[in-house]
Amino acid sequence: MKPVLVRSSPEDASKIAAFLCQVFHAGPEDAVARPEHMHWKYWAEREDWPGSRSFRLEREGVIVAHGAAWPSEVRPPSGPVLRGAQVIDWAGEPSAPGAGLALMKKIAPEYVDLIFALGGSEATRKILPVFGFKPFNEILFFAKPLRPFSQVATHQRRDWRSPARLLRNLGWSWRSTRLAPGWTSRAVDGGEIRSWPEPGGGVTVLGRDAQRFRYFARCASIRSQLYMVERDGGEAGYFYLVFVPGQARVADAWSTAGDVGSWMQIYALAITRALEDRGTNEITAWAGLESAQGGLAQCGFECRGRERLMIYDPQKALDPSARLHFQMVDNDAFFRHSGRAEYET
């Protein structure tokens, strides 16, 4: 019998949780199976997506694949605004090879114009082009130690290499950028911000607004704060910090000027704010734009990995030469954690 795509409801929560725990080898207390976390991801109201965001592929009433749309408004430098999504909590039954990718292809184009894919297993990355995913720009993953002594005491790897890691991170943490006069940040709820990302210069951005960040703030597994950045009293951008055990994540950031120097000041302000939290021993960030990557490097961040952003675009609506400003908030990376410190440095 041919599998059928079903849009899930809250009544399906226990069935989906059991499937995800089985495929991901997770326990019932894992975040992927916690009812309140599932409800926030799949069914809590979002203005940018009416109704359920959870989909399952079923054969004779049995789940063979699951995925949830994490929606984005895609704004290219020219042409119409597009509807995109990364598929999170994406899982396929091992006995049904290809079911997970079949589910993604069924979601587009009925529900979205584009599907993003970033990361995943080596096998997944190899098979994505076969299913029509095309490569776009690379996303670089950056990190910087902030409190090396506290970090080494809580590090997930404590062994004979720990002293060398401590010495390296001590020197690394001292690499910093002095804030230029006139640059400040202040906590806001989003309603005050006017400097949301704008497309241009070959850069495609994903839509942002205050409602989106208010939705993010309702995630029970993280603490987070949005900051407006000002230069000499005028708005210059923003950054969004997410706090998980031992780590602060610059889950989103934008510079209105867009040059390396302005990005550098924004990330320097993010470091300053992260250090206000005594439990934060490391800070991380993503960047797909060269100017943002330069700003991070000048603040002492180092690249700890990179992945090619892959996009399924059946209508060929997006110019593949455009660079995409893709951030942690554009998939589940900003809130996903194990409940314990897991450092990148």
Query: Mean pLDDT per segment of 10 residues, for the chain of length 345 residues?
Result: 87 92 81 89 94 92 92 93 94 78 84 90 78 92 97 92 92 86 95 94 95 95 97 97 98 97 97 97 98 97 96 90 94 93 96
Say what the pLDDT of residue 37 is.
93
Residue 134 lies in a domain: no
How many domains is the chain built from? 2
Of 303, 230, 237, 241, nearest in space to 272 by CA: 241
Whether residue 182 lies inside any domain: the answer is: yes
- 240 in the same domain as 157: yes
CA 99 to chain centre: 24
pTM of structure: 0.95
Same domain (yes/no): 192, 257: yes
- Are 242 and 115 contacting, i.e. CB atoms less than 8 angstroms apart? no
* Bridge partner residues of 253 (DSSP): 239
Query: Is residue 109 included in any domain, yes or no?
Result: yes
On whether both 112 and 216 belong to a single domain, the answer is no
What gap in Å lies between CA 41 and CA 244, rounded to an integer? 18
Instruction: Kindly state whether residues 158 and 76 are assigned to the same domain.
Output: no
Question: Both 152 and 93 in a single domain?
Answer: no
- Of 84, 102, 117, the position where a domain reaches its end is 117
Query: Same domain for 110 and 155?
Result: no
In a shared domain, residues 78 and 147: no
Say yes or no: 262 and 151 in one domain.
yes
CATH code of the domain in which 60 resides = 3.40.630.30
- For residue 272, the domain's CATH number is 3.40.630
Q: What is the pLDDT of residue 124?
A: 74
For residue 126, tell me if it sits in a domain: no
**Predicted pLDDT at 329:** 98
Together in a domain, 330 and 182 = yes
Q: Are strands 82-92 and 133-145 parallel, antiparallel or unpaired?
A: unpaired
Taking residue 295's Cβ as centre, other Cβ atoms within 10 Å add up to 26
Together in a domain, 104 and 160: no
Q: What is the pLDDT, as a whole number, of residue 324? A: 95
Domain carrying residue 255: 140-308+316-334
Query: Residues 177-218: pLDDT tens digits?
Result: 788 999 999 999 988 999 999 999 999 999 999 999 999 999
